């Protein structure tokens, strides 16, 4: 049983179920980033931990076509953390905040056994893009390359090392591209649990089936924490979107099409699930 879905069904209302909740022109997104669940200390420096925790939260905002403005940080730190280590961590938060024009406006700090980071990002948008909104016939695409994070993760799990600029450490957000194409997009979400799992969510919320246009590898389908964007758009906007992708130097892959839902077109996620 998927306990995460169970819990969120209990809170179900018109505002949740997306990467962020839209209230007026504000979008609110919140994610936990936890030692032993999302990362291990021996894999990442404190600066890398802070950097990634900010980026994965900002990713939610971008996928909704919202510009991040403010952040609230809740941080639990081990009792024995040194001032130098606190500096490393706060420098990571501040670096990304500066890069994206985000102001850290408050939060809470406690002392406990391990690092838990809870970030709330407050973003602004005039045209939010939801998971819901795709239509029969829409093309489906994703940004960037998928699969590397899975391989990087496997190397780390086997005690190996990966490059400091690998995507596992620094998700490569596609804000410049996505803000420009947003007006042509019907539905979108960031790819955090793997294309296959996230595609199944997007199709389900739109009650649509799937027609593949490309054969994707298991690595492409099942690689989590990619923080690329999965999006749906009308075929008539394909050229405009490709042009913007070219101008912003952003790779996109059109891999499928939304079709009417029936027993043959129903998309089923076959990747192993990591949650709960």
Binding-site entries for Mg(2+): 19, 29, 31, 60, 108, 190, 193
Stretch that binds a second copy, among 89-97, 131-139, 182-190, 215-223 (CB under 8 A): 89-97
Q: What is the radius of gyration, based on Cα positions, of the chain?
A: 19
Size of interface with a second copy, in residues (CB under 8 A): 59
Binding of a second copy by 273 (CB under 8 A) = no
| Residue of 40, 98, 99, 106 that binds a second copy (CB under 8 A) | 106
- Per-residue DSSP letters for 246-265? HHTT--EEEEEEEEE--TTT
What is the nearest approach in angstroms of a second copy to the Cβ of residue 31?
A: 5
Q: Which is nearer to a second copy, 73 or 241 (CB)?
A: 73
CB contact at 8 A, 147 and 255: no
Binding of a second copy by 99 (CB under 8 A) = no
Q: Which is nearer to a second copy, 52 or 250 (CB)?
A: 52
Q: Which is nearer to a second copy, 121 or 162 (CB)?
A: 121
CB contact at 8 A, 109 and 223: no
What is the nearest approach in angstroms of a second copy to the Cβ of residue 12?
A: 9
What stretches of 136-270 show up as alpha helix (H) in DSSP? 148-157, 175-181, 195-205, 218-222, 238-247
25 Cα distance to chain centroid = 21
- Cα–Cα distance for residue pair 115/275, rounded to 1 Å: 19
- Site for a second copy, residues 146 to 165, rule: CB under 8 A: none
Measured CA to CA in angstroms, residue 23 lies from 26, 63, 67, 208, 254 at distances of: 5, 16, 14, 27, 31
- Cα–Cα distance for residue pair 140/185, rounded to 1 Å: 10
Q: Which is nearer to a second copy, 125 or 250 (CB)?
A: 125
Q: Which is nearer to a second copy, 163 or 276 (CB)?
A: 276
Residue 134 CB-half CA count within 13 A: 33
Site string for a second copy, 5-24 (x = CB under 8 A): -xxx-xx-x-xxxx-xx-x-
Collapsing DSSP to helix, strand or coil, 102 comes out as: coil
Residue holding tokens 């690329």? 228
What is the nearest approach in angstroms of a second copy to the Cβ of residue 107?
A: 5
- Cα–Cα distance for residue pair 133/232, rounded to 1 Å: 8
- Site for a second copy, residues 34 to 73, rule: CB under 8 A: 34, 36-38, 69-70, 72-73
Q: Which residues bind a second copy (CB under 8 A)?
A: 1, 3-4, 6-8, 10-11, 13, 15-18, 20-21, 23, 26, 28-32, 34, 36-38, 69-70, 72-77, 79, 81, 83, 86-87, 90, 93-94, 103-113, 116, 118, 120, 122, 275-276
């Amino acid at each position: 049983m998927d306990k995460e879905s169970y819990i969120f069904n209990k809170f179900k209302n018109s505002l949740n179920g997306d990467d962020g909740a839209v209230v007026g022109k504000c979008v609110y997104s919140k994610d936990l980033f936890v030692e032993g669940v999302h990362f291990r200390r021996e894999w990442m420096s404190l600066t890398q931990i802070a950097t990634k925790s900010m980026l994965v939260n900002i990713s939610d905002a971008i996928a909704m076509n919202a510009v991040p403005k403010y952040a609230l940080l809740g941080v639990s730190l081990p009792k024995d953390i040194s001032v130098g280590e606190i500096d490393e961590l706060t420098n990571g938060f501040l670096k990304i905040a500066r890069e994206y024009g985000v102001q850290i406006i408050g939060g809470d700090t406690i002392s406990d056994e391990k690092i838990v980071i809870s970030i709330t990002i407050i973003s602004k948008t005039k045209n939010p893009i939801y998971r819901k909104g795709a239509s029969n016939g829409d093309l489906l695409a994703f940004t960037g390359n998928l699969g590397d994070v899975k391989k990087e993760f496997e190397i780390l799990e086997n005690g190996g090392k990966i490059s400091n600029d690998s995507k596992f450490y620094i998700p490569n957000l596609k804000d410049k591209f996505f803000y420009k194409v947003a007006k042509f997009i019907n539905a979108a979400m960031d790819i955090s649990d793997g294309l296959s799992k996230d595609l199944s969510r997007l199709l389900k919320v739109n009650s649509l089936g799937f027609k593949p246009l490309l054969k994707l590898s298991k690595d492409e389908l099942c690689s989590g924490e990619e923080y690329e964007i999965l999006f749906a758009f009308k075929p008539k906007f394909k050229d405009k979107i490709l042009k913007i992708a070219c101008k912003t130097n952003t790779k996109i892959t059109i891999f499928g099409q939304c079709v009417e839902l029936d027993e043959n077109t129903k998309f089923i996620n076959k990747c192993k699930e990591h949650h709960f």
